[in-house]
Amino acid sequence: MPNYVSFFAGCIFFLASVATGCAAQRAGLKDVGFTIQVGAFSEVKNAERLARKLQDKGIEAFYFKRENGIYAVRFGDFIRREDASSTARRLVKERVISSYFIAPPRPVVPTTMREPVLERAPAPSLKKPSRPPAVAAVPAPPTRKPEPAAEARRDRSDMGAIAARTAERFVGIPYRWGGDTVVDGMDCSGFVRAVYNLCGVNIPRTSRDQFKVGDVVAKEELKDGDLVFFGSSPEEINHVGIFVGNGRFVHAPRRGDDIKVSTMDDAYFLRRFVGAKRYF
């Protein structure tokens, strides 16, 4: 008679191993909490200068182009809004920053690609506020909320597209993430980390560590927002970019160069492609 007990025990051990492996892959990922956003610059060099100023104080900051074409700087990862506000007020007092916004954690993804509404720093008032006249409250019409399962599906499917469109917004920005600061050595991985931060997901700093987390994706199954990795082997990864569809990916090619779009079929990248990962 076959030893069914041993057989089932082996199956359970295998499934537990798979689950443990998946949990280990997800362990390097977490949602970004409250962040601080400062600046509204028409020129990227001014945003870069502010980011460098923050980095010199040991604060990991990055600059990016908003939907309206204006550049801003974002930093921090706070569990509580009060902690983010306290840090921002301290930096204002130290004259490192002036006005600021508190960006909330990423909510359930909306159907549009709009940026989240930010909490603005309170402006000082020079006169006493007047009491507004009483207004009868008008009840808002009831709204039907989507089922939780539908929200979760929309959240997962939309985030890849949002990450891809966010990455495309960086194209043409001079790449100066490295240097002798806290972000030294981040290079191309710093770019993808910044994009994912804007999308509400905190991924590891280096391309090698980024490759250790997330779900494996076959090259023929790539979707918007997936990360594509390059190098001589899975143990020797030295470049990463964000897939944006039609065989293209956005990446920071080398120190001092602009962020650009390249194709997966390019001979150099075709030869050095190692694998891809999905994080949403």
Give the position of tokens 């930096």: 91
Q: Cα separation of 138 and 185, whole Å?
A: 56
* Annotation says 199 is catalytic: no
Catalytically annotated residue among 11, 22, 199, 251: 251
User: Which distant-in-sequence residues (6+ apart) come within 8 Å of 275 by Cβ?
Assistant: 211, 216, 217, 228, 229, 234
Q: Cα separation of 34 and 178, whole Å?
A: 24
The answer to whether 134 and 66 have CB atoms below 8 angstroms apart is no
Catalytically annotated residue among 11, 22, 199, 239: 239
Burial of 160 (0-12, 13-18, 19+ CB in 10 A): buried
User: Which distant-in-sequence residues (6+ apart) come within 8 Å of 18 by Cβ?
Assistant: none
Q: Cα separation of 199 and 30, whole Å?
A: 12
Amino acid identity at 115: E
Separation in Å, CA 82 to CA 77, 85, 197, 201, 215: 12, 5, 20, 21, 34
Q: Cα separation of 280 and 269, whole Å?
A: 24
Query: End-to-end distance of the chain based on CA atoms, in angstroms?
Result: 46
The SS3 of residue 161 is: helix
Give the position of tokens 């509204």: 40
* Annotation says 251 is catalytic: yes
Catalytically annotated residue among 11, 22, 188, 199: 188
Catalytically active residues are: 188, 239, 251
